[in-house]
Amino acid sequence: MADTNMKVLVVDDFATMRRIVKNILVQLGYKNIVEADDGTTAVDVLKSEKIDMIISDWNMPKMTGLDLLKHVRADANLANIPFIMVTAEAQQDNIILAVKAKVSQYIVKPFTAETLGEKIDKVFA
């Protein structure tokens, strides 16, 4: 079971989607949630705060979720942060790219609170 006191970074260019993910996290007991509206903003947050888990959308302007994932995995200080990718597309090619880039878990929209909870539990199992 994941520690609900950990700091979770939610990255999505749509405020509505960030709010949905945030609400689900709150339902699951998480209190410490930080938001970023794209990958570049997320990088700034990662430089200034200790983040314990990242939940990021794939399709975003400026820096995609995949590019953010690669950035995180390439940085020795960030490389071990669990990273859950959220996408509207369940394309095999995308899943393979994300797995190659060492994604922790992958979620396809739309998803339920239960699904997100299960994915988080798998990450910390």
Total structural domains in the chain? Answer: 1
55-78 residue pLDDT tens: 999 999 999 999 999 999 999 999
Instruction: Answer yes or no: is 2 within a domain.
Output: no
Instruction: Answer yes or no: is 1 within a domain.
Output: no
pLDDT-derived band at 30 (thresholds 50, 70, 90) equals very high
23 pLDDT exceeds 90? Answer: yes
35 pLDDT exceeds 80? Answer: yes
Instruction: Answer yes or no: is 69 within a domain.
Output: yes
Hey, how many other C-beta atoms are within 10 angstroms of the C-beta on 50? Answer: 9
Candidate from 49-58, 61-70, 82-91 with smallest mean pLDDT: 82-91
Instruction: Answer yes or no: is 104 within a domain.
Output: yes
| 4 DSSP assignment | T
90 pLDDT exceeds 80? Answer: no
Question: Which pLDDT does position 1 carry in this prediction?
Answer: 62
Instruction: Answer yes or no: is 49 within a domain.
Output: yes
42 pLDDT exceeds 80? Answer: yes
Supply the range of the domain harboring residue 89.
7-123
Question: Which pLDDT does position 95 carry in this prediction?
Answer: 85
Q: Are 52 and 6 in contact (CB under 8 A)?
A: yes
CATH of residue 28: 3.40.50.2300
HEC secondary structure over 52-104: CEEEEECCCCCCCHHHHHHHHHHCCCCCCCCEEEEECCCCHHHHHHHHHCCCC
Instruction: Answer yes or no: is 118 within a domain.
Output: yes
Across all residues in the chain, what is the average pLDDT? 94
Instruction: Answer yes or no: is 22 within a domain.
Output: yes
Instruction: Answer yes or no: is 100 within a domain.
Output: yes
At a CB cut-off of 8 Å and minimum separation 6, what does 75 contact? 46
